[in-house]
Amino acid sequence: MRSFPILLLVIFLLIYSFLCYISFKSVVGSVSTANKRKVGWLIIILSIVIIVSFVFLYIWPFNARNTKNYSVHLIYNAILSIDFVFKIPLSLSFLLGSFFPTKKKPVIYMMGLLLSVALSSSVVYGALFGRNDLVVNNIELEYPNLPKNYHEFKILQLSDTHLGNFFNSKKLMHKVKEETDRINPDLILFTGDLVNNFSSELDGWEAIFQEINKNRESYSILGNHDYGNYTNWKSEIDKAENFKQIISSHQTLGFILINNNHVKLKLGTDSLYIIGVENWGHPPFPQYANLEQAMKGIPENTFKILLSHDPAHWEQIIKFRNDIGLTLSGHTHGMQWGIKKAGFTFSLSYLTRENWGGLYKYGSSQLYVNTGIGTVGIPWRINMPGELTVITLKRIEVD
């Protein structure tokens, strides 16, 4: 969770208050005269409660950066988002109604009300049920320089669990465990954001992760949330200790953490390299990655897989190199709201970044962005279920 400058909070409250007013006018204009007063007061009271709660949780006396338990903030975020989604179509219908004769305005307002109910219902579904959905995406990637013994080698990519957002429910991670057993991968790679901020979020998760990683080679990297940068610490010592515990937890959970380093995998007489870098992203996200250090000592003309949490790293730097065949990233969550059906994918993430989910290619370099398992900011997933990615490597012969 992050906090925001007071100016932005004030701007948000002004915009929300304006939405409340014109959505109120729209609803009142679409109901019968006998119910206008009741409906009007209901909207006014609910809007006041939401505004007061926002000030209470995010401005004073509380602040998201000063709490170690985000449960109340997350629940409030879901309620606020549902309310926002409900009021936007109402507000648009009111503005649209100004272009129509008085007799037709109630029809326009009613259309806005029906659209509001439909959209907010999808958000409610995403918050109650969608965040526990899980999809397994299977892809095959062909490489001429893949060592022969790694033909049909199966990799399972996991990403972005954000364990503090699970409300102590392990339902989704049990699904992950069951699917992992069914897939039976040769290798598990985790691409960052194990927690939101705190090592305490890891309490009680050891057993299920150990089952997932049992008898398998499993490697991991850090994501931007794993550094504890989104909270106010009492001291730098407390922050350093929290980070130290998060680092050590990877081993406890069954992962080998790769921090600006690499590991060599051997299969028979063949080998490939897994490279892991710390987070590299567009500001304000931290840039700790040291790719040159991570690749030091790796022979040329070897097959390499890079783990880098933020796909911005690939977009800005990696894709222009010709020595890393595959990069695996996470971070985006597909904004937890979009469409991933029948081979068609779309998310509002596309408005901020081109590489938000799925497979991307540039020359000989390929990137796969996993849209994550957990949630961040708002505890919902709408048409953007948690993702497990199964990558099957294939060697192709070149004449």
| Positive or negative torsion for Cα 172, 174, 178, 180 | positive
Measured distance CA(372)–CA(382) in Å, rounded: 13
Q: Which two tokens stand for residue 209?
A: 């992760």
Nearest to 193 by CA among 126, 132, 246: 246
> How many Cβ atoms sit within 10 Å of the Cβ of residue 354?
10
- Residue 108 backbone phi and psi in degrees, to 5: -65, -45
Q: Is 226 left (phi over 0), alpha (psi -120 to 50) or beta?
A: alpha
What confidence score (pLDDT) does residue 342 get? 64
What confidence score (pLDDT) does residue 349 get? 87
List the alpha helices (DSSP H) in 159-284: 171-183, 206-213, 236-253
Q: Residue holding tokens 């081993």?
A: 251
Q: Residue holding tokens 């954000």?
A: 162
What confidence score (pLDDT) does residue 1 get? 52
How many DSSP H helices and E strands does the chain contain? 9, 14
What confidence score (pLDDT) does residue 65 get? 81
Q: Residue holding tokens 């409340």?
A: 20
Q: Which two tokens stand for residue 347?
A: 């998310």
Angle of helix 105-128 relative to helix 71-97, nearest 10 degrees, comes to 160
What confidence score (pLDDT) does residue 252 get? 97
To the nearest 10°, report the CA torsion of 346, 350, 351, 354.
-150
CA 132 to chain centre: 13
What confidence score (pLDDT) does residue 170 get? 94
pLDDT lower than 50: segments of the chain: none
What confidence score (pLDDT) does residue 326 get? 98
The answer to whether the bond into 106 is cis (omega within 30° of 0) is no
List, in sequence order, every residue forming a beta bridge with 306; answer none if it has no partner. Answer: 275, 327
Measured distance CA(20)–CA(57) in Å, rounded: 20
- Spell out the domains of the chain, with CATH numbers in brackets: 6-128 (no CATH), 133-395 (3.60.21)
Report the predicted TM-score, pTM, of the whole model to 2 decimal places: 0.92
What confidence score (pLDDT) does residue 36 get? 76
Quick check: 259 and 229 in contact, CB under 8 A? no
In the chain, DSSP assigns E strands to 134-143, 153-158, 187-190, 217-220, 256-257, 261-267, 270-276, 304-307, 326-329, 338-341, 344-347, 358-362, 365-369, 386-395
Which DSSP symbol is given to 159? -
3-state SS class at 55: helix
What confidence score (pLDDT) does residue 329 get? 98
Angle of helix 171-183 relative to helix 206-213, nearest 10 degrees, comes to 10
Quick check: 160 and 374 in contact, CB under 8 A? yes
Which DSSP symbol is given to 210? H
Neighbouring C-alpha atoms within 13 Å toward the C-beta of 328: 30
SS (H, E, C) 11-46: HHHHHHHHHHHHHHHHHHHHCCHHHHHHHHHHHHHH
